[in-house]
């Protein structure tokens, strides 16, 4: 079994302790990574701190050039990294609508190159006979990045590249469930970046908490569950760290009654089930008008029954396994509860007989807000379809949730859809699609889905502090 070291201060670090990484399609380990403890997290922070003065003083054009080189390194290692992502997450190499490991790599590469070119120029707010006033952006120092298991490489890129672009140094702690592709990426990156600029430590909550509370970490960028986000916010408060928190979602989609059911259903299915529903901004609750409810449920159930579930390394697989046993248990418990709450399981409804963590793609009708499957984030291949009879009611039900990551409205009437969309309480709202993100448009949650945004110039700004410079002329 291949073993991956941590990289600290430019050096490969192996310890006496390792984490076995399970391939969820087989239910058994395929690789291991070396693990840190709190003391080693301190060493990594010290390495990042030592690298900060030179990296932050490196000319912007040079930092940009090095980040483009990271993009090229991802590009030239794409087949290897895709296979690692598939083995550790279960997501297919290609997958439903091509949302698989290939897309994860393509996205990581695209975000790297795009972010490398975002300008960080000072803003001139006044220049007259009294004074010249400029607003400058300065790096924060050491950024700790803590990532989840669902899109391990892409989310790491979303954290690391803007942090480095702005002149910070980074310690990343990937999820203990999927640390392999990130470990390999950091190894590749360290052949390009100066030592200590990008470090990786492995471990679970204790290592994350060590970074969160560390007095020499200036910012935490975290993607993961709302529960952990709250712990991180609390741990970071003693040293008043900057935070970007990208947390859980329970995205609602509202289908207005004018749609063509057969044309829209495959898009809705893709939005709810890509990566097996394990994406923060997957469609997680679907509200469909009375007049189209049965037809839409039937069409979604047909698509669910036809989806090909299997090992993501095999050609033609749409959906892989759930990424870990604990998450499979959550999905199964929600299915059991949905049945007990009077829901009709129109397709799927149970785990597959397998050593892997497979669950049948599941469509549930007949539930509404107040049932667990509608109110909670399922993060798996099970979608509740909720009936509504007037649009105001649908908007109320969509907003009746503590999460506020994404939302969508589906209609042939774009003005009507936009009017509904603007009333949804979420950080991104899509019309006639759901969950698509892009490197130039800010993305982040409202309510308990997070604090701050990622991507584009707004996302980059979160890795800086403002220094206002006033030059008096009087």
Q: Which residues are catalytic?
A: 246, 280
User: Is residue 238 within the footprint of ligand NAD (CB under 6 A)?
Assistant: no
User: Is residue 225 within the footprint of ligand NAD (CB under 6 A)?
Assistant: yes
Tell me whether residue 167 or residue 380 sits nearer to ligand NAD (CB atom): 380
Tell me how many degrees the CA angle 23-274-107 measures, rounded to the nearest 5: 85
DSSP 33-76: EE---HHHHHHHHHHHHHHHHHHHHS-HHHHHHHHHHHHHHHHH
Tell me whether residue 327 or residue 411 sits nearer to ligand NAD (CB atom): 327
- What is the pattern of x (binds ligand NAD, CB under 6 A) and - over residues 261-290? -------------------x----------
User: Is residue 455 within the footprint of ligand NAD (CB under 6 A)?
Assistant: no
Tell me whether residue 64 or residue 223 sits nearer to ligand NAD (CB atom): 223
Q: Are the beta carbons of 44 and 89 closer than 8 angstroms? A: no
Tokens of 86: 């598939």
In this structure, the number of other CB atoms found within 10 A of the CB of residue 238 comes to 10
User: Is residue 462 within the footprint of ligand NAD (CB under 6 A)?
Assistant: no
- Closest alpha carbon to 173 in 140, 139, 209, 141: 209
Q: How far is the CB of 420 from ligand NAD (least distance, A)?
A: 23
Give the Cα separation of 98 and 458 in Å (integer): 28
In this structure, the number of other CB atoms found within 10 A of the CB of residue 266 comes to 14
* 356-365 CB burial, b ≥16 within 10 A, e <16: bbbbbbbbbb
Stretch in the footprint of ligand NAD (CB under 6 A) among 79-87, 223-231, 284-292, 339-347: 223-231
DSSP 260: -
Count the residues of the shown chain that bind ligand NAD, applying the rule CB under 6 A. Answer: 30
Give the Cα separation of 298 and 270 in Å (integer): 16
Give the Cα separation of 325 and 322 in Å (integer): 8
Q: How far is the CB of 278 from ligand NAD (least distance, A)?
A: 8
From edge to edge, which strands make up the β-sheet containing 11-13?
11-13, 6-8, 198-200, 169-173, 142-146, 219-223, 242-246, 450-451
Q: How far is the CB of 101 from ligand NAD (least distance, A)?
A: 16
Tell me whether residue 351 or residue 444 sits nearer to ligand NAD (CB atom): 444
User: Is residue 371 within the footprint of ligand NAD (CB under 6 A)?
Assistant: no
Q: Give me the residue whose beta carbon is nearest to ligand NAD.
A: 208
Among 95, 248, 253, 321, binds ligand NAD (CB under 6 A): 248
- What is the pattern of x (binds ligand NAD, CB under 6 A) and - over residues 395-434? ----------x-----------------------------
Identify the three-state secondary structure at position 146: strand
Tell me whether residue 86 or residue 212 sits nearer to ligand NAD (CB atom): 212
Tell me whether residue 175 or residue 292 sits nearer to ligand NAD (CB atom): 175
- Closest alpha carbon to 374 in 409, 341, 405: 341
Residues 183-222 within binding reach of ligand NAD (CB under 6 A): 204-205, 208-209, 212
Residues 144-183 within binding reach of ligand NAD (CB under 6 A): 146-150, 155, 173, 175-176
From residue 87, how far is each of 41, 184, 351 by CA, in Å?
A: 27, 14, 20
Tell me whether residue 86 or residue 150 sits nearer to ligand NAD (CB atom): 150
- What is the pattern of x (binds ligand NAD, CB under 6 A) and - over residues 331-360? ------------------------------
Tokens of 96: 């439903």
User: Is residue 439 within the footprint of ligand NAD (CB under 6 A)?
Assistant: no
DSSP 445: -
Among 343, 351, 445, 452, binds ligand NAD (CB under 6 A): 445
Among 272, 450, 452, 456, binds ligand NAD (CB under 6 A): 450
Binding footprint of ligand NAD on the chain (CB under 6 A): 146-150, 155, 173, 175-176, 204-205, 208-209, 212, 223-225, 228, 231-232, 246-249, 280, 377, 379, 405, 445, 450
């Amino acid at each position: 079994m291949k073993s991956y070291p941590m990289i600290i201060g430019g050096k490969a670090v192996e310890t006496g302790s390792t984490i076995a990484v399970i391939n969820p399609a087989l239910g058994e380990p395929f690789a291991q990574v070396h693990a840190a403890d709190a003391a080693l997290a301190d060493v990594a922070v010290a390495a990042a701190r030592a690298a900060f003065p030179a990296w932050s003083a490196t000319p912007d054009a040079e930092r940009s050039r090095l980040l483009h080189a990271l993009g090229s390194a991802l590009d030239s290692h794409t087949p290897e990294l895709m296979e690692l992502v598939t083995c550790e997450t279960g997501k297919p190499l290609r997958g439903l609508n091509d949302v698989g490991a290939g897309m994860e790599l393509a996205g990581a590469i695209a975000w790297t190159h795009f972010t490398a070119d975002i300008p960080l120029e000072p803003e001139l707010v006044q220049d007259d006979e009294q004074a010249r006033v400029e607003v400058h952006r300065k790096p924060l120092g050491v950024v700790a990045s803590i990532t989840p298991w669902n899109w391990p490489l892409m989310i790491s890129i979303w954290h690391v590249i803007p942090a480095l672009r702005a002149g910070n140094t980074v310690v990343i702690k990937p999820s203990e469930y999927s640390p392999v592709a990130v470990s390999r990426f950091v190894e590749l990156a360290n052949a390009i970046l100066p030592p200590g600029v990008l470090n990786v430590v492995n471990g679970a909550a204790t290592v994350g908490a060590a970074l969160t509370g560390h007095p020499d970490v200036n910012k935490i960028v975290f993607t993961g569950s709302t529960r952990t986000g709250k712990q991180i916010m609390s741990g970071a408060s003693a040293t008043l760290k900057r935070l970007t928190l990208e947390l859980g979602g329970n995205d609602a989609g509202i289908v207005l009654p004018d749609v063509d059911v057969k044309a829209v259903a495959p898009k809705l299915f893709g939005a709810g089930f890509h990566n097996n529903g394990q994406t923060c901004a997957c469609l997680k609750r679907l509200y469909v008008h009375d007049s189209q409810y049965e037809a839409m449920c039937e069409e979604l159930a047909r698509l669910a029954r036809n989806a090909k579930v299997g090992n993501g390394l095999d050609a033609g697989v749409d959906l892989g396994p759930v990424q870990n046993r604990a998450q499979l248990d959550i999905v199964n418990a929600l299915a059991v509860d949905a049945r007990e709450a009077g829901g009709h399981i129109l397709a799927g409804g149970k785990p597959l007989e397998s050593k892997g963590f497979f669950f049948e793609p599941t469509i549930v009708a007949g539930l509404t807000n107040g049932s667990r499957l509608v109110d909670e984030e399922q993060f798996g291949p099970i979608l509740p379809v909720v009936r509504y009879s007037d649009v105001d009611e649908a908007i109320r039900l969509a907003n009746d949730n503590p999460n506020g990551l994404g939302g969508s409205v589906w209609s042939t009437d774009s003005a009507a859809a936009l009017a509904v969309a603007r009333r949804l309480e979420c950080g991104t709202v899509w019309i006639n699609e759901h969950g698509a993100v892009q490197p130039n448009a800010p993305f982040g949650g409202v309510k308990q889905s997070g604090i701050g945004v990622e991507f584009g110039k707004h996302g980059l700004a979160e890795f800086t502090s403002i220094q206002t410079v006033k030059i008096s002329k009087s």
